[in-house]
Each structure stands twice: as structure tokens, then as C-alpha cells.
């Protein structure tokens, strides 16, 4: 089963989903069936002067995830994720990582065709 | 939670005075000074600093003379003309260094260090109008766009933890990196302009930038009695672009007097200008609370302070 | 001699002073607008435009068929302008600072030079005064690359002649502002006697002091606010080269695009004295340097 990457405020399934993609605290990379997961720290992207979104997209692509669940994805990160063949569900907020996985399993997430904000530096 | 940004393109139009007045009228906002190069809002709001943070961004190259063989490759590869001849080794001018690492990568002696750059400080503070985030970039440093993004992020966190209802920001001048960083994704840009050739010219440019980011815009004309002709041209421009003019303020000594007294205009006086600003603020609130919301799907309720 | 007109804060009258100074200058002169984000000098000098060129910065263009995915370009780029995602090589042109590092390190010539438009370089003449300006493209985030090109053009313009230069610098003390004044011989700081004006000019003074150039103050709207600016100048030994009184007539003349120096004979005298003060400060500094 293809893995999901979910932007997360911490290393646990019950952490809040981080609405930021590029400057998320980290990513939970999870198998949605078994709920086995790894935590990918994104601290270095957070501190970057520019290009945090692209950096985060690289992290996620290298993790093998084929799906991203998150809040806001900037245009450049979105292009990068698309290039890596990763599907994006965005505009998620006010929920835990576990709840986001549940939404995904119930087929309730919508796939984005374009970035939701013209981002810059966030 | 709406985020309102006050900008001007051109400096000196009264942007900061108006932001301070809005902060006074809102009463419940998280206040951001995003003009991190030349911040002035703190002069009116007198913040008590609660936390001080160092801001690091990017890197700078520094040649270590004891390891340098003097081959001159660094100077040849630098596109920013930052490497200056020197004894015993060339020197990198920190004001010109872009932090691109090309000289570091091409130095055959590994003689160039690449240090992260301490570019400024930022603060979270309390003011009589609510919490405030602000910063001071060191002179000559860039990456203020990143610092602006960082302040906005911090403001959003404060909104959450302190259960505030709105973010009110004083934006940077110009149309470059810090401005783009300040206005991406805000809910309303309030452009403060003045009826001068520069005011109109810069209004056109900043309005184009807002259009580029599909942002709702409201315009305030300050010192509107200086030139009836230019004021009319601004109004015509706004009508053509479908931007609403929410106030015309006269050239009023109250602005300077309030500033000298460290007060917001609306706090200092209740003259014509102060009343016009109150009306403009009510109009802004109605944009969010009323039917003609600037963004279709956001109808947040935000507070107001009654005239006292 | 190059004179930079700077101000810690926008809207203090930097462009007013630049335009009036240019109009009062007695020797051959080029007036340059380096406030490329908000260029306004032309609105007052109203030059006849002789040329208008687009300015570009060199950025990489990727040819994926030649890429061996060695990541050398990704590793050298400090600005995240190049990324390799799986088997896709991507360039993000607007992130690029134009350092040329990726082009230099690519072993397969998979990256070739391309262009990003920075804005326009415009030149002309206002009477006998040469004119040059940069205008940043709306949406372009970086102004220093365009400013560098305007300065290169300026140096070509004044190479063969004994020509002075008046530079209208960007406001503030950030990278672009320092960039504009660092090649000047004399710095004029324009401020106003208000708390904002004082605070911002003290930042500018601190920022420009290490450059070791003669500096002087022009107080615009004198009489408007308070007197602490005078104490500041005294304490820093900063000469006040001119004071332009606060008057509605001057403000209205400016609003109509007029040159303030020409508004009255007193003001013309003020600017003539400013020109003299600048020339004297420069000469004095040269003597100190050569002593």
C-alpha cells in the first residue's frame, strides 16, 4: 500500500496536523492500512532562508510517499510534488494526524489541482 | 481570522500612523510591524518586550588568510564583485557577499569559511492595544522576506493561544521581496497613498502587485487636500481598477502631534481626521462582517472599539 | 563626484531633494534613480527619454536529457532554485540569485544560461542633465541585481567625461539602500523633525557610518514637529546642510510635480548652499584622504 505523508506538529499520530507544508515541524509517513509510521523531522526546512517548500517536497519524495495531506502548499512546492508524482490533498486544518488518515481512508479528501495560495517565503 | 495589511508602496504617506489608529480602534488585534528594515510602529505603541529572538538567515563567505594561497579564483568566480584584493589574502566585502557559496566550492585550498549570518532580532511584546510582534534587521542585511514570514507565523500562533480575532500589520515600503512576503495570502490590503505624482505612481505599482496575488484592496488617500487634481486622478484610477476608496484624510497636524506624544491619532484627538479614520475602520469591519465580504468564504466576526 | 540622497524612512523628501539638487547643480551631471522599487525622480525632472531597455539576469535552463542526476547543481545552490525530485530536474527561475554556480559545476552541460527579466533601464536627459533610472518589474522580488546593472550603465555613461552624479537611493537601511550608497563619495540624509524621522535617520546614520564617507543632513518640513533631531545632529557631529521649512505651499507644489527649489528665491538659495556644502565636504574629505 502506498504511503501517505502528513504534515505534523510532532512525532505522533495524535499530534495536530501542521497546516503549513514547507515550514511544517515534520511529516508522519504512514501506511494507512497498518498505521505503521516513521517521523520525518522538517526542522532544517523551517530554518531555510528560502525554498522551504521545495526542500520539504524533496524530503517527502525521498520518503517514498505518494500522497501528501496538509494545509497550505505554495506554488513551487506544488510543482515539485507534481513532478515527483505525488498527489496532494490540501486545506486540511484543525485535526490530528490520525483524523486526517481516517478521512483519507473514508475517501473524504479532495485532490488538489493547483496550489491554494500564491505563497512566498512561507 | 482575518489578516489585514496596511501598505503604501511609497514611504511617508502615513501608513504607520493609520496602522496605529486601527490597532487602537480594533482593541483586540495581534499587531505586527512588518517593516523590519525601518520599523516605526513601536514609537507609537511603546511595547514592553517579553521575548527577544536572534534572527539568522543565509550565509556569508569569509576568507581565512592562513589557508589562502592567493590564486585569485574566488575573485574570478564571484558574480557580485564581493572579493577585494588585500594583504595577506583577499577579503570578502560582507555588504556585497550574496552568500551563494560559489567561491567556497571553487577554492582549491578550502580557505573560505561559510558561516550562517546573524541578520537581526525579533520580539514578541505587549502593548496597550494588544500583543505585538516586531523586529529590527541589521543594516545592510537582506532576507527580510523570510523575517516577515516568520513574524506573520508568530502572529498566527499568538492569535490561536490568546484567542484574538484579527491580525493587523504595518507593511514594508516598495514592491520587492519583503512586500511580497507581507501580502501573500492576507485577507485585505489597505493601501495608504497621497495625492502626489509619486503617490499615484507607487499606488499603481502596489495595486498591480495586489492584483497579481488576487488580493482585495481598499485605498485611503491621505493629505487629500494638497492637490485636488491628483486626488481626482487617484479616485479615477481606483474606480477603473475596481478598488474601493474608503477614506480621504486632510493634511492634518494631528498626525504629527499624536506622533510627538507617542499616541495613535484616534487616541490623541477626536477631530475630523480621527473621525474619518474611525469611519474607515467601520467600513473595513463591514467588509468582513457584512454581505460584501472581500473573500467569499470568510465571514469572520471581528470586534470594534466604540468612540469614547 | 557621486552624491547619494538617502533617508532612513520613506516619504521624507528624498526625491524632492534629489530633483532640486539636480536642478541646482552647476557642473555636468547625471541624475540616477536607484529606488527601483518605487522610482519617482522622473516625475519631477520630466526628462526626455532616449532609450528604454529590458534588463535580464542569467539563470539556468535545464536540459533533462543530458542530466546524470549527480546533484552537483542542487548541492551548490544556496537558494533552492534547482531541485531533483526522483528523476525530474526542476529549475525555479524566480528563486535564482544569478550566481552562476550551477552552470559552473554541471559536468554534463545539462544546464545552459537563460534569462529572467528584472525590469527596465531607462535613460535620457532633462535639459543639460543626464538621466538614468531602473524600474523593477512588478512581481520581481530582488532589486539589487537590477541596481547593479543600472550602476554599470552609469559608470559607462560617465567614463569619458568629468561628470558628477546625484543618486536617488531607496529608503531604509536594508540591502538595496546600502547597495545604492556604497559607491557614493558623499551621502545626504534627508529627514523630518518627527519621532519617526529621528528614529529612522539614526538607523541610517548607524548603517552608513562604517562606509567612512562624509555625511550631512537635510531637514525637510522644518518646524513641523519637535527639536530632538537637532540634538541628535549635535551629538553625532553631523552637519545640517539645509533646512526646508514646513509649508503647505511647498507641499502643494510638490503634489503638482514641481521642483521645490524653483518655488521661491529663498528656497533656490537654500539649495545653492546645499550644493556648496556637498562640494566642500567632498573636497575636505579628499584632503584628509591624501594627507
- Is B153 in Cβ contact with A121 (below 8 Å)? no
Q: Which residues 223-252 of chain B have a CB within 8 Å of chain C?
A: 223, 226-227, 229-230, 251
Secondary structure (3-state) at C127: coil
CA-CA distance, C30 to C9, in Å (whole number)? 24
Residues of chain A contacting C, Cβ within 8 Å: 48-52, 54-55, 57-58, 61, 76, 79-81, 83-85, 120
Q: Which residues 28-47 of chain B have a CB within 8 Å of chain C?
A: 37-38, 40, 43
Judged by a CB distance cut-off of 8 A, whether residue B185 touches chain A is yes
Confidence class of residue A46 from pLDDT cuts 50, 70 and 90? low
CA closest to A84 among chain C residues: C85
What are the residues whose beta carbons fall under 8 Å from the beta carbon of B52, sequence distance 6 or more? B121, B122, B123
Alpha helices in chain B (DSSP H): 15-26, 41-45, 73-77, 102-106, 144-162, 177-183, 197-212, 228-241, 253-260, 265-268, 272-289
CA-CA distance, A59 to C202, in Å (whole number)? 44
Which one-letter DSSP state was computed for residue A96? B
Confidence class of residue A23 from pLDDT cuts 50, 70 and 90? confident
Pick from B175, B212, B229: CB nearest C136 = B175
C-alpha cell recorded at residue A71: 494545509
Cell 504595518 found at: B170
The confidence score (pLDDT) of residue B299 equals: 35
As a whole number, mean pLDDT of residues A61-90 equals: 91
Taken in order B249, B251, B252, B257, the sign of the CA dihedral is positive
- Is A118 in Cβ contact with B149 (below 8 Å)? no
Residue among C111, C104, C30 nearest C67 (CA): C111
Between A and B, how many residue pairs show a Cβ–Cβ distance under 8 A? 40
Residue among B196, B259, B208 nearest B10 (CA): B196
Contacts of residues C127-131 at CB distance under 8 Å and 24 or more positions apart, as own/partner, are C128/C28, C128/C29, C129/C22, C129/C23, C129/C25, C129/C29, C129/C30, C129/C31, C129/C45, C129/C47, C130/C28, C130/C29, C130/C30, C130/C31, C130/C157, C130/C163, C131/C30, C131/C31, C131/C32, C131/C41, C131/C42, C131/C45, C131/C47
CA-CA distance, C146 to C121, in Å (whole number)? 8
CA-CA distance, C263 to C252, in Å (whole number)? 10
Residues C69 and C89: beta-carbon distance below 8 Å: yes
CA distances from C84 to A24, C6, C87, C291 (A): 21, 43, 7, 58
Residue among C109, C105, C68, C75 nearest C89 (CA): C68
Secondary structure (3-state) at C138: coil
Secondary structure (3-state) at B51: strand
Residues in chain A: 122
Is B79 or C291 the better-scoring residue by pLDDT? B79
CA-CA distance, C192 to C232, in Å (whole number)? 12
Secondary structure (3-state) at A100: helix
Chains with at least 3 CB pairs less than 8 angstroms from chain C: A, B
Taken in order C237, C238, C239, C245, the sign of the CA dihedral is negative
What are the residues whose beta carbons fall under 8 Å from the beta carbon of A56, sequence distance 6 or more? A21, A22, A23, A24, A27, A42, A45, A77
Q: Is residue B88 reached through a cis peptide bond, with omega within 30 degrees of 0 on the bond before it?
A: yes
C242: β partners: C218
Judged by a CB distance cut-off of 8 A, whether residue B176 touches chain C is yes
The confidence score (pLDDT) of residue B175 equals: 87
CA-CA distance, A58 to A63, in Å (whole number)? 9
Q: What is the pLDDT of residues C148-188, one digit of tens each?
A: 999 999 999 998 778 999 999 998 888 889 989 999 999 99
CA-CA distance, C154 to C166, in Å (whole number)? 11
Phi-psi region of C184 (alpha: psi -120 to 50; beta: other; left: phi over 0): beta
- Which DSSP string do the residues of C50-74 spell out, in sequence order? EEEEEEEEEEEEE-GGG-----HHH
Q: What is the pLDDT of residues C208-217, one digit of tens each?
A: 999 999 999 9
| CA angle (A112, A116, A118) in 5-degree steps | 140
In order along its 308 residues, chain B shows pLDDT tens digits of 799 999 998 888 999 999 999 999 999 899 999 999 889 999 999 999 999 999 988 899 999 999 999 999 999 999 999 999 988 899 999 988 999 999 999 999 999 999 988 999 999 999 999 999 999 998 877 667 889 988 998 999 999 899 999 999 999 988 888 888 898 779 999 999 999 999 999 999 999 999 888 889 999 999 999 999 999 999 999 999 999 999 999 999 999 999 999 999 999 999 999 999 999 999 999 998 764 445 433 333 344 444 43
Residue among B266, B304, B306 nearest B288 (CA): B304
Of B19-23, C87-91, C230-234, the poorest mean pLDDT is in C87-91
CA-CA distance, A18 to A21, in Å (whole number)? 7
Element (DSSP H or E) covering residue C111: strand C111-126
Q: Which residues 118-137 of chain C have a CB within 8 Å of chain B?
A: 136
C135: β partners: C120
The confidence score (pLDDT) of residue B301 equals: 39
Residues B268 and B133: beta-carbon distance below 8 Å: no
The confidence score (pLDDT) of residue B290 equals: 63
The confidence score (pLDDT) of residue B306 equals: 42
Q: How far is C86 from chain A (nearest CA, A)?
A: 6
Confidence class of residue C105 from pLDDT cuts 50, 70 and 90? very high
The confidence score (pLDDT) of residue A116 equals: 63
C52: β partners: C122
CA-CA distance, B247 to B220, in Å (whole number)? 5
ipTM summary value: 0.87
Judged by a CB distance cut-off of 8 A, whether residue C195 touches chain B is yes
- Residues in A closer than 8 angstroms to B184, CB to CB, are 117-122
Amino acid at each position: 500500500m502506498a504511503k501517505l505523508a502528513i504534515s505534523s506538529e510532532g512525532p505522533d499520530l495524535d499530534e495536530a496536523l501542521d497546516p503549513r507544508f514547507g515550514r511544517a515541524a515534520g511529516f508522519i509517513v504512514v501506511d494507512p492500512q497498518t498505521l505503521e509510521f516513521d517521523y520525518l523531522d522538517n526542522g532544517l526546512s523551517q530554518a531555510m532562508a528560502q525554498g522551504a517548500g521545495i526542500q520539504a517536497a524533496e524530503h517527502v519524495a525521498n520518503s517514498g510517499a505518494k500522497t501528501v495531506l496538509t494545509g497550505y502548499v505554495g506554488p513551487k512546492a506544488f510543482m515539485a510534488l507534481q513532478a515527483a508524482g505525488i498527489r496532494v490533498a490540501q486545506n486540511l486544518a484543525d485535526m490530528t494526524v490520525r483524523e486526517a488518515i481516517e478521512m483519507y481512508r473514508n475517501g473524504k479528501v479532495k485532490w488538489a489541482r493547483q496550489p491554494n495560495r500564491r505563497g512566498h517565503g512561507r | 481570522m482575518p489578516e489585514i495589511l496596511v501598505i503604501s508602496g511609497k514611504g511617508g504617506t502615513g501608513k504607520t500612523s493609520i496602522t496605529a489608529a486601527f490597532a487602537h480602534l480594533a482593541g483586540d488585534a495581534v499587531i505586527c510591524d512588518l517593516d523590519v528594515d525601518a520599523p516605526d510602529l513601536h514609537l507609537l505603541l511603546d511595547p514592553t518586550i517579553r521575548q527577544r529572538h536572534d534572527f539568522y538567515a543565509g550565509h556569508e563567505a569569509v576568507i581565512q588568510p592562513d589557508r589562502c594561497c592567493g590564486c585569485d579564483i574566488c575573485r574570478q568566480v564571484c558574480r557580485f564583485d564581493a572579493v577585494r584584493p588585500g594583504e595577506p589574502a583577499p577579503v570578502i566585502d560582507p555588504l556585497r557577499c550574496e552568500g551563494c557559496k560559489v567561491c567556497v566550492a571553487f577554492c582549491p585550498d578550502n580557505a573560505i569559511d561559510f558561516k550562517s549570518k546573524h541578520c537581526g532580532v525579533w520580539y514578541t511584546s505587549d502593548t496597550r492595544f494588544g500583543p505585538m510582534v516586531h523586529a529590527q534587521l541589521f543594516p545592510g542585511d537582506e532576507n527580510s522576506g523570510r523575517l516577515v514570514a516568520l513574524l506573520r507565523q508568530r502572529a498566527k500562533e499568538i492569535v490561536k493561544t490568546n484567542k484574538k480575532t484579527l491580525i493587523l500589520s504595518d507593511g514594508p515600503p516598495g514592491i520587492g521581496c519583503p512586500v511580497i512576503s507581507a501580502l501573500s495570502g492576507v485577507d485585505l490590503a489597505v493601501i495608504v497613498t497621497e495625492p502626489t505624482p509619486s503617490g499615484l505612481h507607487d499606488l499603481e505599482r502596489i495595486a498591480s502587485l495586489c492584483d497579481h496575488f488576487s488580493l482585495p484592496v481598499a485605498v485611503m488617500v491621505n493629505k487629500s487636500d494638497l492637490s485636488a487634481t491628483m486626488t481626482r486622478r487617484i479616485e479615477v484610477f481606483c474606480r477603473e481598477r475596481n478598488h474601493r476608496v474608503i477614506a480621504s484624510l486632510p493634511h492634518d497636524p494631528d498626525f504629527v502631534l499624536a506622533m510627538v506624544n507617542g499616541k495613535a491619532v484616534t487616541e490623541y484627538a477626536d477631530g475630523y481626521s480621527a473621525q474619518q479614520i474611525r469611519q474607515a475602520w467601520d467600513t473595513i469591519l463591514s467588509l468582513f462582517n457584512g454581505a460584501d465580504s472581500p473573500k467569499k468564504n470568510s465571514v469572520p466576526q471581528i470586534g470594534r472599539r466604540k468612540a469614547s | 563626484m557621486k552624491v547619494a540622497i538617502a533617508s532612513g524612512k520613506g516619504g521624507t523628501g528624498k526625491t524632492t531633494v534629489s530633483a532640486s539638487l539636480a536642478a541646482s547643480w552647476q557642473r555636468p551631471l547625471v541624475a540616477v534613480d536607484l529606488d527601483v522599487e518605487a522610482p519617482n525622480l522622473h516625475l519631477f525632472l520630466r526628462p526626455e527619454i532616449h532609450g528604454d531597455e529590458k534588463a535580464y539576469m542569467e539563470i539556468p535552463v535545464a536540459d533533462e536529457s543530458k542530466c546524470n542526476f549527480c546533484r552537483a547543481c542542487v548541492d551548490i545552490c544556496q537558494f533552492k532554485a534547482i531541485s531533483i525530485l526522483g528523476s525530474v530536474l526542476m529549475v525555479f527561475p524566480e528563486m535564482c540569485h544569478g550566481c552562476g554556480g550551477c552552470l559552473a559545476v554541471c559536468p554534463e552541460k545539462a544546464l545552459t544560461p537563460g534569462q529572467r527579466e528584472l525590469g527596465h533601464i531607462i535613460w535620457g536627459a532633462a535639459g543639460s542633465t543626464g538621466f538614468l533610472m531602473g524600474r523593477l518589474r512588478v512581481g520581481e522580488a530582488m532589486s539589487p541585481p537590477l541596481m547593479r546593472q543600472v550602476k554599470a550603465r552609469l559608470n559607462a555613461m560617465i567614463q569619458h567625461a568629468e561628470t558628477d552624479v546625484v543618486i536617488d537611493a531607496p529608503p531604509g537601511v536594508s540591502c538595496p539602500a546600502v547597495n545604492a550608497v556604497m559607491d557614493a563619495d558623499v551621502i545626504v540624509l534627508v529627514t523630518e523633525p518627527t519621532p519617526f524621522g529621528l528614529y529612522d535617520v539614526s538607523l541610517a546614520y548607524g548603517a552608513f557610518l562604517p562606509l567612512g564617507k562624509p555625511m550631512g543632513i537635510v531637514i525637510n518640513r522644518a518646524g513641523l514637529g519637535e527639536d530632538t533631531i537637532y540634538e541628535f545632529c549635535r551629538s553625532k557631529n553631523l552637519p545640517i546642510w539645509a533646512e526646508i521649512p514646513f509649508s503647505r505651499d511647498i507641499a502643494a507644489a510638490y503634489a503638482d510635480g514641481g521642483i521645490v527649489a524653483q518655488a521661491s528665491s529663498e528656497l533656490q538659495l537654500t539649495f545653492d548652499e546645499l550644493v556648496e556644502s556637498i562640494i566642500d565636504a567632498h573636497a575636505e574629505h579628499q584632503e584628509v584622504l591624501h594627507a
